Homo-oligomer: A and B are copies of this chain.
Amino acid sequence: MLYAGFMSTLLPPFPQPQEPVDKPQLLEVGSGAGEPCLRADAARNRARLLEAATRLIAEHGAAGVTMEAVAAEAGVGKGTVFRRFGDRTGLLTALLDHSARNLQADFLGGPPPLGPGAPPVDRLRAFGVAVLYRTAEQLDLQLAAQPDAARRYAHPSVRALRTHVTVLLRQTLPDADCELLAQTLMAYLDPALINHLTRQCGMPMERLEKGWLDLVDRVTRAET
């Protein structure tokens, strides 16, 4: 129910993929022309599939989202699911796309401290906290949507967040290897880690939050 009911509104303005898959094109937001626009039946089926997946998650959890089940629930063939979303990860990612775009909009153009206007370090702090809680909310889905080891760090949505962190870092530490530091910071926000710490180790979110602020402090601290 966390993700329920947002699909119904986003079909018309929610075209997407072309060749094999529809990648969540974070970053190029305002576009308006670059996208191929699906055929009518394809768009209809896409919407049905997302709704079906949402329903299945609500009923049986993320584990119940089997490609066949989604296809059946949506009343389409299995091949259609794969044509549209590429693979299971793609489908699950599409389910998260809505919230991902919101987050991105917030830190790209929203009010400070998350958005522009605040000092970079403050934005960094706010960013981490925002991601932390967003992830905790959708933990099961985020976990299930995680690609295999070889693609995890190359995944577009992760790259988008990391790029933002890199930019903020560079404004604070112009001489450091901000790409590596950004990877480190992002690693702290890995859904799998958050899952481990909260559910398997029983840490409260407040501790994770403090941990993030402390980490940002340490990483951005001037040399002694």
Contact = CB atoms under 8 A, between A and B. Distances in A.
A21 interface: no
Task: State the majority secondary structure of interface residues on A.
Answer: helix
Interface string A143-180: 11010011011100000000000000000000011001
Contact of A188 (B152, B183, B193, B222): B183
Contact of A180 (B144, B191, B211): B211
A207 interface: yes
A98 interface: no
A219 interface: yes
A187 interface: yes
Interface residues of A, number: 36
Contact of A192 (B144, B150, B181, B207): B150
A192 B152 contact: yes
Contacts of A149: 143-144, 146, 191-192, 195
